[in-house]
Amino acid sequence: MTHYFIRPIQYLINGACNGLTFIRRLFGRLTKPLADTLYPDGIKCVACGNELVADNKYGLCDRVECRLLHNECYCDKCGSNLGDSGDNPIGIQLCKHCKQESHPYEYVRAPLVYDAKVKDLIRSYKFGRKRYLSKFLSQHVIDCYYEHICNKVQIDYITYVPVHKSKLKARGFNQAELIAKELAETIKKDQPHASVPLLPTLDKTIQHKLDTAQKGRKARFASVSGVMQLKKATRQLS
C-alpha cells in the first residue's frame, strides 16, 4: 500500500458595550488556559492577537507581519521549501537531501514555509495548549490536500503521528490528530460519496527524552527510530 503525507466569525452582541469589549471583559477574568479554550473563534488574529475586522478562514489579520508564506517552490519528494535554490523550475525539483537519500514514502507536501512565524504558531498550538488553533491550521492542510493530493492519487485513509499516552495526558490533545480530523470531516462534508476514513494506524510506545523540535535533522531521525509501532488492526491492511 502506498502512503502519502501532508505535513497545519464575526461575533456580535447588542448592548451597552460592543461585542468584542464585552467578550474581552468576560474572558479577561478567567484564567489563561480556560480563556484560550473558550475564546470564540475569529475574534483575534492568531498570529498577532489584534482584533479581526473580517472573517478569515486562517484566523489571520491583513498585516504584512501576519501573512504566512505559502510553500510554492518545494522539493517534489519531501516537500521542503527550496527558497530561491530551485534549480529546475520546469521539471522535477529535489532538495540536497533527496538527491542523495531514498525515502519509504511516495511524496510529502507542506502547505507553508516553516519559518519563524509558522514555528511560533505551531509551538503556541502544541505547547501553549491552544487547541482552538487546530481549526485555523487545518485550513492550510485542507487547501494543500485539494491542490496537491486529491487529484493525483487514490487515498485509502487519513492517519496521523501519535503522541505517547503520558504526553497526551499532559497536553490534553494530539495536535496532529485534530488536524487530520478536520481534514477528514471537511472531505466528508464536501464530497459525501468520496469521503476518506480517518484511521489511527500507529502507537507511540516510547517517549522521547528531549523534544524533537529542539533537535537537528539527523538527531530527529534517530530519535524516532523504534518509538512507534503499527496497531494490530493496521497490520491487516498492508
What does the block give as the cell for 129? 495548549
In the window 70-129, what residues touch Zn ion (CB under 5 A)? 75, 77-78, 95, 98
| Least distance between Zn ion and beta carbon 101 (Å) | 8
**Single residue of 45, 137, 142, 183 touching Zn ion by CB under 5 A:** 45
**DSSP conformation class of 180:** H
Residue with Cβ nearer Zn ion (46 or 179): 46
Please check whether residue 141 is in contact with residue 179, taking contact to mean a CB–CB distance below 8 angstroms. yes
Please check whether residue 73 is in contact with residue 92, taking contact to mean a CB–CB distance below 8 angstroms. no
Residue 184 contacts Zn ion per CB under 5 A: no
| Least distance between Zn ion and beta carbon 99 (Å) | 8
What lies within 8 Å, CB to CB, of 225 at 6+ separation is none
| Least distance between Zn ion and beta carbon 210 (Å) | 25
End-to-end CA distance of the chain: 6
Residue 53 contacts Zn ion per CB under 5 A: no
| Least distance between Zn ion and beta carbon 42 (Å) | 12
Place of cell 495536535: 175
Binding-site ranges for Zn ion (CB under 5 A): 45, 47-48, 50, 61, 63, 66, 75, 77-78, 95, 98
